[in-house]
A = this chain, B = another copy of it.
Amino acid sequence: MLLCDIGNTSYHFLEVNSAYCKNKKNSNTSIIKEYKTEVSSFNPSSIQEKIFYICVNPHVKLILSKLDNWIDLSSHVEMFNYYETMGVDRIFACEAIEDGIILDAGSAITVDIVKNGLFEGGFIYPGLNAMSKTYKNISSALDYSFNFELDLDKMPKNSRDAISYGYLKTLYREVMAQDMKLYLTGGDAKKFASIFPHAEIDEILIFKGMIKIMKKADLC
């Protein structure tokens, strides 16, 4: 069974055997393959088999709507508790958990709270690349890579740490203040794990939400 989560820049595929869907608990043992391809270079009609997807990219969404074997899962989720313009990837990540805070580190960082299986709100923060460019564009004097080894308990006295603290500590403090189990997902999850060492990294969290919805909708 083939699943795909499409973002602004990439197609993220997960191939699982059908046993995955029948398991009560989501287990990673049934994963056959997990891979990414660029939105700019991938042709979705090159895939012939049935594929279940969600997509935040409006251009790709239009193309996929014309391909019969690409099945959009977004219509199967109960939307009443989310909001209309909320990214479908955030919604499916929320569907994957019962309680906790999800930090999805992609082009944007989305931080969402789920309590008793219900979405309780969330916020959007710039992703690593976007924020790096932001500082660089303000001044060439701020053109540094972020220091993820930064001491978050100490006010910086050098430029690299001053921007790293501005980007990371502010996010860290807000996330930690929620005092909930933290799930890290998205392309930069591993980088953020160094400042959130207690977090659970789950790079297929969105796919887990997709499978949960598919089960409910009797699609697998």
Which residues of A pack against B, CB within 8 Å?
A: 8, 56, 82-83, 85-87, 107-111, 113, 119-127, 130-131, 133-135, 137-139, 141-142, 154-159, 161-163, 165-167, 169-171, 173-174, 177
Secondary structure type dominating chain A contacts: mixed
Please tell me how many copies of the chain the complex holds. 2
Instruction: Out of B113, B126, B137, B156, name the residue touching A155 (CB < 8 Å).
Output: B113
State whether A174 and B163 are in contact (beta carbons under 8 Å apart), knowing that A85-B158, A126-B131, A137-B130 are contacts in the complex. Answer: no
Q: How far is the CA of A33 from the CA of B165 in the complex (A)?
A: 37
Task: Pick the residue among B134, B139, B155, B169 that contacts A120 (CB under 8 A).
Answer: B155
Could you tell me if B126 and A135 are in contact, using CB atoms closer than 8 angstroms?
yes
Asked if A107 contacts B170 (CB within 8 A), the reply is: no
Contact of A86 among B82, B159, B177 (CB under 8 A): B159
- Could you say which of B108, B119, B154, B173 contacts A138, with CB atoms under 8 Å apart? B108
Which chain B residue shows the least CB distance to A84?
B158
Q: A107 near B166 (CB under 8 angstroms)? A: no
Query: Does A8 contact B139, Cβ atoms closer than 8 Å?
Result: yes
Closest to A163 in B: B124
The CB with the most chain B CB atoms within 10 A, among A56, A119, A170, is that of A170
A134 touches B130 (CB 8 A): yes
Chain B neighbourhood of A56, CB < 8 A? 139
Contact (A134, B126) CB under 8 Å given A141-B85, A170-B173, A174-B169: yes
Q: Is the CB of A166 within 8 A of B125?
A: yes
- The answer on a CB contact under 8 Å between A122 and B8 is no
Whole-angstrom distance between the alpha carbons of A137 and B170 in the complex? 21
With A113-B155, A173-B170, A173-B177 as given contacts, are A162 and B8 in contact (CB-CB < 8 Å)? no
Query: A82: which B residues are within 8 A, CB to CB?
Result: 157
Q: Please give the distance in Å from A94's CB to the nearest CB on chain B.
A: 12
In the bound complex, residues from chain B placing their C-beta under 8 Å from that of A171 are 170
Residues of B within 8 A of A159 (CB): 83, 85-86, 124
- In the complex, which residues of chain B have a beta carbon less than 8 angstroms from the beta carbon of A173? 170, 173-174, 177
